[in-house]
Amino acid sequence: MFKLATFAALTAAVPLLASAQSATWGQCGGNGWSGFTRVYFGHCTYVNDWPGTGSGTTSNPGPGTTTVPDVSTTSDEPGTTEGPDPGNPYPGYDVWLTPYYASEVSAAAAAITDPALAAKALKVAEIPTFTWFDVVAKVPTLDAYLADAKAQQEETGRKVLVQIVVYNLPDRDCAAKASHGEFIIADGGLAKYKNYVDQIAAIIAKYPEIRVVAVIEPDSLANMVTNMGVPKCAGAAAAYKEGTIYTVKALNELGVFMYMDGGHAGWIGWPANLEPAADIYAEIYNEAGKPRYLRGIATNVSNYNALRASSPDPATVPNPNYDEARYIEAFAPILAAAGFPAKFIVDQGRSGVQGIRTVWGHWCNVKGAGFGTRPTGETGSADIDQIVWIKPGGEGDGTSDSTADRYDESCGVDTAHENAPEAGAWFQAYFEMLVKNANPTL
């Protein structure tokens, strides 16, 4: 199987170049392999015995500006790189509700003709989700959002926490098409990315009284574990590493609690993937200077896995880590042994219904899905800080239009919902399905 001696050695060996888009499961072979088979440059690409699966992502709105602090060095000041573990960021805080998602939900509910279903739909606007900053143009809205959170905190006298996703690496989503981004490595993408991070940091620095929790770059490092046989991923590895470290150091200086994306049970959770993944995440953690506020790992982002399943979904066989809790229980000690004492948050926004996929790797607009467990700190695990909703339910995973530039064949499989818009665009029929199938019910 694919194994890294060190991530540094790997990235030193790969050229920085942009390559053609390819499917996340673009390999030949592997135990229990049932995904697509792809050919790259005339050769069938084998990645490892336990092929990874991805998720497909994108979200929310906004505009973009500003410049900011030099984060090339770290500080010994308490609250920056060193000092005691600051702990779980969620207890004692009210999680801020993004007005953008609330407006999407309100409009969607107004379009539902069934009064009972519309009433259930409106309840979704009261559930906190993360706000995604997936292009530079959205960044300035963060200023308004943090100002609103500050006003709420001052008005209520209760501490407020804002949840964001930093998602704009150059050559983003290197093993999928649905959510490729605006920066290209070959066109100065890494420098542009750092400027994007600087803009986010400059805004957060204006609101030191507001706690921020950030998920860092969905799908990025997980692709470094399983998809290095994909040319675009191999070409992006060094930039992903450098960009992630830059982001972590910049936001750590501001006391932003961070969770790097860690794929999900059906991707990194295969036993053969755990050690290589731990090597990569621990290397990022250590090379960034063991940032005090790099709290851990976010799992199941934009995916559909259960936190705890009473029995294995047939699509998950033969992985013994067939749900997110089992994945985390297996991964946490390996991460700690590698030098990264990580805690976790788990996305359950669309995980209300199981047994809806014939292939675990199907991630795009999965039919039959429902809203899942509401955000809570009652996780049943000392390793899991919080159950969260990271992907705003109702925003699509990717278009089903096979002629579109960003069409990914995963969005055309039999378990993917038809008539889907581009990733991140509102998908009314899908939202209504999530409301109908919500478990627990809304």
Q: Tell me whether residue 85 is annotated as binding.
A: no
Q: Tell me whether residue 363 is annotated as binding.
A: yes
Q: Tell me whether residue 50 is annotated as binding.
A: no
Q: Rounded to whole angstroms, what are the CA distances from 156 to 89, 151, 265?
A: 19, 9, 39
Check if the beta carbon of residue 28 is closer than 8 Å to that of residue 100: no
CA–CA distance, 141 with 133 (Å, rounded to integer): 9
Catalytic residue from among 143, 198, 219, 313: 219
Residue 344 is given by DSSP the state E
Determine the straight-line distance between the first and last CA of the chain, rounded to whole angstroms.
44
Q: Tell me whether residue 138 is annotated as binding.
A: no
Check if the beta carbon of residue 164 is closer than 8 Å to that of residue 214: yes
Beta strands in 62-187 (DSSP E): 94-95, 131-133, 160-166
Active site residue 219: yes
Which residue, chain included where needed, has tokens 């060193």?
Answer: 82
Total residue count of the chain as it appears in this document: 442
Residue among 215, 167, 176 at smallest CA distance from 55: 176
Q: 376 CB contacts (<8 Å, ≥6 apart)?
A: 386, 387
Q: Tell me whether residue 426 is annotated as binding.
A: no
Q: Tell me whether residue 321 is annotated as binding.
A: no
Q: Tell me whether residue 389 is annotated as binding.
A: no
Q: Rounded to whole angstroms, what are the CA distances from 104 to 131, 229, 428, 431?
A: 13, 39, 10, 10
Active site residue 323: no
Q: Tell me whether residue 362 is annotated as binding.
A: no
Half-sphere exposure of 399 (CA within 13 A, CB side): 13
Residue among 26, 48, 44, 45 at smallest CA distance from 35: 26
Catalytic residue from among 143, 173, 323, 385: 173
Check if the beta carbon of residue 57 is closer than 8 Å to that of residue 133: no
* Residue 195 phi, psi dihedral angles, 5° rounding: -65, -40
Q: 342 CB contacts (<8 Å, ≥6 apart)?
A: 281, 295, 296, 297, 332, 335, 336
Active site residue 173: yes
The residues annotated as belonging to the active site are 173, 219, 397
Which residue numbers belong to the known binding site?
132, 134, 264, 267, 303, 363, 391, 395
Binding-site residues from annotation for substrate: 132, 134, 264, 267, 303, 363, 391, 395
